[in-house]
Amino acid sequence: MPDVAIIGGGIIGLTSAYHLARGGASVAVYDRGDFGKEASWAGAGILPPGNPDRAAMSIDKLRGIGSQRFAAFSAELRDLTGIDNGYRRCGGIEFLTAEDADVPGVWAAEGISFEHLSASEARKLEPLGEAEGESYLIPGFAQVRNPWHMRALVAACAKLGVRLYPNTGAERFADGALVLANEERVTAGRYLLAAGAWSANLLRAPGVFPVRGQIALLRGASCSRVLMLGKRYLVPRGDGLTLVGSTEEPEAGFEKRTTPEGVAELLAFARRTVPALASAALEASWAGLRPGSPDGSPFIGPVPGWDNVFVAAGHFRAGVQLSIGTAQVVCELLTGKPTSVALEAFALDRKPEANVKSAFRS
């Protein structure tokens, strides 16, 4: 009987498993498919900067923990597994329109370095075409290659003795046990539900829902920093590839596929923003299902009605950047310690506030 059974082997489940195992817990992770092949595989891997000591909101504190620890965590995974997750601090430029005029104040309060750029200064740094809004250079933006990071996480968990059960879906909790899709019963000291967009099925309560995002990958000359324009962005991979994201389609439900319109919209955005991409070849495109929540914040904490079931799901557009902070508080929660970040804003039974305005959108 493991100390902790985790349902869902995406970035949230596996980062939590890794940290729990490193702390001495015996851990088993169950995934209904392959590990790390859903939203955590599909994402763009943008890691905005942050500062947990100065951030005002809990979600920004989790982002700050991720920002501060991602470089060291990446090195730790590489040392343990030999797999490079592609983490690099590439810098970014944010373009803000009038409705986000208050955002630089949030960055300043957190102590994030940024510099306002005139349009000509921005053009000297990047081969820009049309880019609406005021531009801000933010050197602390970083990125990770999601599929590489997930491979490293799976290998690191295996090295630490985490028991990994792929193709083993969980169905429900009953009589203190987890019932698998094949009706086998698993008992554990504690359970962590980290099944991404599918988590509501096991909670048997609404809350988390899928929000499809499509991505296009281009090969050709491009920008050198992450360019963020509202919900759209360009992420140069540094090897001739540029990722263009992303659509936001809650109406698509669980239909994980690209559409000709979605990809065409992304290509038009890329060519408008960096005209040199007009001659870039479309290398690939894909879609993923973000785990959405009513107010955009994740659910992290105990599941009411059970004394040993916890949830960590609903990380929406930010599960990669929030993964290390989430794993940290999950470890604290599951080992009975006070959490280093207040969890009220993440409670399952919270009243959803009007959309929480975070300092970064991805």
User: What single letter denotes the amino acid at residue 341?
Assistant: V
Give, as ranges, the residues between 52 and 71 that touch ligand FAD (CB under 6 A): none
Q: What phi and psi values does residue 282 have, to the nearest 5 degrees?
A: -80, 110
Three-state DSSP string of 165-230: ECCCCEEEEECCEEEECCCCEECCCEEEECCHHHHHHHHCCCCCEEEEEEEEEEECCCCCCEEEEC
Closest contact distance (angstroms) between CB of 252 and ligand FAD is: 11
- Calpha distance 75→81 (Å, rounded): 10
Q: Any contact of residue 210 with ligand FAD (CB under 6 A)?
A: no
List the beta bridge partners of residue 5.
Answer: 28, 191
Find the binder of ligand FAD among 4, 5, 11, 267 (CB under 6 A).
Answer: 11
Q: Any contact of residue 246 with ligand FAD (CB under 6 A)?
A: yes
Closest contact distance (angstroms) between CB of 113 and ligand FAD is: 20
Q: Any contact of residue 296 with ligand FAD (CB under 6 A)?
A: no
Closest contact distance (angstroms) between CB of 169 and ligand FAD is: 4
Give burial (CB, 10 Å; 0-12/13-18/19+) of 89: middle
For ligand FAD, the closer of residues 79 and 346 by Cβ is: 346
Find the binder of ligand FAD among 112, 216, 263, 320 (CB under 6 A).
Answer: 320
Find the binder of ligand FAD among 106, 195, 329, 331 (CB under 6 A).
Answer: 195
Interacting span for ligand FAD (CB under 6 A) from 19-27, 51-59, 309-317, 340-348 = 309-317
- Calpha distance 362→360 (Å, rounded): 6
Interacting span for ligand FAD (CB under 6 A) from 2-10, 118-126, 253-261, 343-351 = 2-10
Q: Any contact of residue 290 with ligand FAD (CB under 6 A)?
A: yes
Find the binder of ligand FAD among 319, 325, 328, 348 (CB under 6 A).
Answer: 319
For ligand FAD, the closer of residues 279 and 355 by Cβ is: 355
Closest contact distance (angstroms) between CB of 321 and ligand FAD is: 4
Beta carbons within 8 Å of 184's beta carbon, 6+ residues apart:
none
**Between 146-159 and 58-81, two packed helices, what is the crossing angle to 10 degrees?**
70
- Calpha distance 351→109 (Å, rounded): 27
Q: Any contact of residue 32 with ligand FAD (CB under 6 A)?
A: yes
Q: Any contact of residue 242 with ligand FAD (CB under 6 A)?
A: no
Q: Which two tokens stand for residue 235?
A: 């992420």
Interacting span for ligand FAD (CB under 6 A) from 109-117, 256-264, 271-279, 310-318 = 310-318
Q: Any contact of residue 256 with ligand FAD (CB under 6 A)?
A: no
Closest CA to 27 of 322, 334, 267: 334
Beta carbons within 8 Å of 304's beta carbon, 6+ residues apart:
348, 349
For ligand FAD, the closer of residues 137 and 327 by Cβ is: 327
- Calpha distance 249→226 (Å, rounded): 22
Say if strands 134-138 and 92-96 run parallel, antiparallel, or are unpaired. Answer: antiparallel
Contacting residues toward ligand FAD, per CB under 6 A: 7-13, 30-33, 38-40, 42-46, 169-170, 194-198, 202, 213, 215, 245-246, 288, 290-291, 313, 315-321, 362
